[in-house]
Amino acid sequence: MTLVVGIRLMTKDRLLSWILQCDPIYVLCLTAAESVSHLFFQCNYSKQIWQRVLDLLSCRRNVQDFSHEVSLALKFCRKTKVAGRLFMMFFAEAVYAIWIQRNNTVFKGCCLPAETVFKDVVFRVACRCSNVDRKLLIM
């Protein structure tokens, strides 16, 4: 998954590698160059969202770098338990939501607060999961 995301997303570090001119700074935090690893979970904005997800899932740990989080997601996707399914759904929704907010900032000049994005991610996962899985979210 890291390979797919790293190769496919048009992050600024990738654009710069093609000798295209652009400002390398990540638009959501304005503190570092935009890369897949910074975009997903090194940036305080995305870290806030993912930490809230981990807390909701009772994962008593801090957010790790993207490659570590992908490794954990791949490990969880092999499990059929509720926690594994929810982790995978949350991971996919969070990555997608962060990318959408990045694009909204780049192309429209606006971005939702991290807390709002987190709530949207929870809503989308709750809508897609089974009733059994949804009960775990309510507890």
The tokens 């904005």 sit on which residue? 45
Torsion angle of C-alpha atoms 13, 14, 20, 21, degrees rounded to 10: -20
CA distance 63 to 84: 17
Q: Which two tokens stand for residue 39?
A: 């975009």
Q: Is the pLDDT of residue 119 over 70?
A: yes
Q: What distance in Å separates the CA atoms of residue 16 and residue 12, rounded to the nearest whole number? A: 6
- Distance from C-alpha of 105 to C-alpha of 111, rounded to nearest angstrom: 5
Confidence band, pLDDT 50/70/90 cuts, at residue 13: low
Give the model confidence (pLDDT) of 16-37 as tens digits: 666 767 676 777 888 887 788 8
**Whole-model pTM?**
0.83
Tell me the sheet residues that pair with 25: 33
pLDDT at 15: 64
Instruction: Quick: pLDDT tens for 76-106.
Output: 777 667 778 888 899 999 999 998 998 899 8
The burial of 50, by beta-carbon neighbours within 10 Å (0-12 exposed, 13-18 middle, 19 or more buried), is given as buried
Residue 15 in tokens: 């654009």
Residue 39 DSSP symbol: I
Computed over every residue of the chain, the mean pLDDT equals 83
Q: Is the pLDDT of residue 130 over 80?
A: yes
Q: Does the pLDDT value for residue 12 go beyond 90?
A: no
For the chain, how many residues are written? 139
